[in-house]
Each structure stands twice: as C-alpha cells, then as structure tokens.
Amino acid sequence: MIHVPTRVRTRPSSPHPTGIRRSSELLRLYRREPLDPAPFYEFLAVDTMAQLEGQGVDPRGIVVDIGGGPGYTAEAARTRGGRTIVIEYDEGELHLHGRCPVDALVGDGQALPLRTGVADIVHSSNVLEHVPNPESMLGEMQRVLRIDGVGYLSYTPWFSPWGGHETSPWHYFGGRWAAARYERRTGTRPKNEFGVSLFELHMAKVRAWFEAQADLRILWEGPRYWPPAWRSLAHLPLLGEVISWNHLIVFQKKESRPSP
C-alpha cells in the first residue's frame, strides 16, 4: 500500500452552493480546469460528499474510491471522518497535481484487490467508460459493498458532448476516426484513445445491468452536474444521454432475497 501524507488545503467556511448556483460554479471551474485543475476537483469532491449526505449517507466508514487518482474525493471523505482506500490502475495518476492520496493500492477496477463486503461506500467518478468490461467493474463495486452500503457511480455516456473526451465532439463521427483526426492535428495519440482506454458506453446498458441485480436499489439517478430538479432529463430516450453530459447513479446494496 502506498502511504504518503497528502497536501491539505484550507477550505472556505461558506455553505456548499446548490441548484443553479452550484451548476454555474461547476461550469466556471471546469472551463479553468486545463490550466488550474485543483479548484475544480476539490469542488467536485466536496460536492460528492454533499450529494451522499443529502441521501442520508454517513461518510464515517470505509470509503473505497476506484480510479481516485491523487485523492481529491478521498480527502473530502477523510475530513468527514471516513477511512479511505484509493484504487488506481496507473500509479502515475496517484501523483497528479503534486498530490498523493493517504492510502492507495495499484489495482484494476475490474478485479479489485479487496475482500468482499469491506466498503461502507464505494465511489467511482468517470472511470467506467475507460474499462473494456464495464459489467465486471460494476460487479466488483457490488461485491466489495457491505449490506446497506452505498455506491456512487458517475460516468460519461458516449453520446455526451464530452463522450470522446479530448477528441470531442468528433467522436460523433466514430471513435477511431476521431482519434486519427486528433493525431493528425496534434502529432500525438489521445490519452483517452477509443478501443484502448476509452470505450463506447451507453446509459441503457448501465441501467439494464442495475435492473438485473436483485440486491441493488437505486437511490438517485440523473445528470450529475445539473440541478437535481432536472433529473428527469436522464430518462429521455437517446436525447437524455446527450443532455445529461455526465450520468450519476447512487445505489444501495440490500440483502438479496431468494426467488419464491
């Protein structure tokens, strides 16, 4: 396990914004993210904790963060009394932005190096679209949760305007074409390359997986960045995937009941 003290920033004492003001602040920080990433990811981490607490979730347990990189969400959970474990596939991601999470393991989200039922909360932000077998990762999130534990899953659907990541919006003409165009224009392959580290993932596929799980109950589903009142946008056929931009599912593990 990697154990490195993380740099802790002084946080403002003002309440976390809600509604349109929250969405506006997310957009403002997102636009500055390429040059100044920390404020966006710090805000997003605090926002995640606020969303979980809004669902009545107590963060003072074991929090597993899949693909948590340098530990923004883990830090936000620790300030609320959580005990955190970051699982990251690429060790280099753990040291981004001059940071490192307090406790981290190098591992694959599709085969987590953790025992069954260890987590009170399992969190994953914008990772699912980067694994070749999303059902395996979803199954691992399900496995490591204890009964009554809560999962927080956000991901970027393929038809989102950011579905192709740095190749967007050209991914609408095909992922491989968009990657080739990016290479022609920049001289390098995209970090998130279609078929290698980025895959076509649709909301309907993720929903179908959840509907097939007898021991999982969805607590909240909707666009992650928009006001909660706009959650119905996620259920518009196809168009919802575009408008949602980023899809969020908060779910709880219940004891499965045998079929009669």
pLDDT digits (tens, 9 = 90+) for 29-65: 999 998 999 999 999 999 999 999 999 999 999 999 9
Q: What local confidence, expressed as pLDDT, does residue 237 receive?
A: 86
pLDDT at residue 1 is higher than 70 = no
Each residue's pLDDT tens digit, 130-180: 999 999 999 999 999 999 999 999 999 999 999 999 999 999 999 999 999
Domain 2-6+17-157+201-253 belongs to what topology? Rossmann fold (3.40.50)
> Does the reported pTM lie above 0.85?
yes
Q: DSSP string of 3-15?
A: E-PPP-PPPP-SP
- pLDDT above 90: percentage of residues in the chain: 82
Beta-carbon contacts of residue 155 (< 8 Å; ≥ 6 apart): 124, 126, 127, 128, 129, 201, 206, 246, 247
* Cα 38 to the center of its chain, rounded Å: 16
Give the C-alpha separation, 45 to 33, whole Å.
Answer: 14
* Mean predicted lDDT score pLDDT of the chain: 91
- Domains of the chain, by residue range, sit at 2-6+17-157+201-253, 162-197
What mean pLDDT do residues 59-74 have? Answer: 95
Each residue's pLDDT tens digit, 76-97: 999 999 999 999 999 989 998 8
Stronger pLDDT, 237 or 23, i.e. the higher one:
23
Residues 28, 234, 58: CA angle, nearest 5 degrees: 75
Residue among 28, 45, 38 at smallest CA distance from 7: 38
Q: What local confidence, expressed as pLDDT, does residue 258 receive?
A: 56
Each residue's pLDDT tens digit, 97-136: 888 888 999 999 999 999 999 999 999 999 999 999 999 9
Give the C-alpha separation, 19 to 248, whole Å.
Answer: 16
| Contact between 182 and 166 (Cβ < 8 Å) | yes
Q: What local confidence, expressed as pLDDT, does residue 255 receive?
A: 85
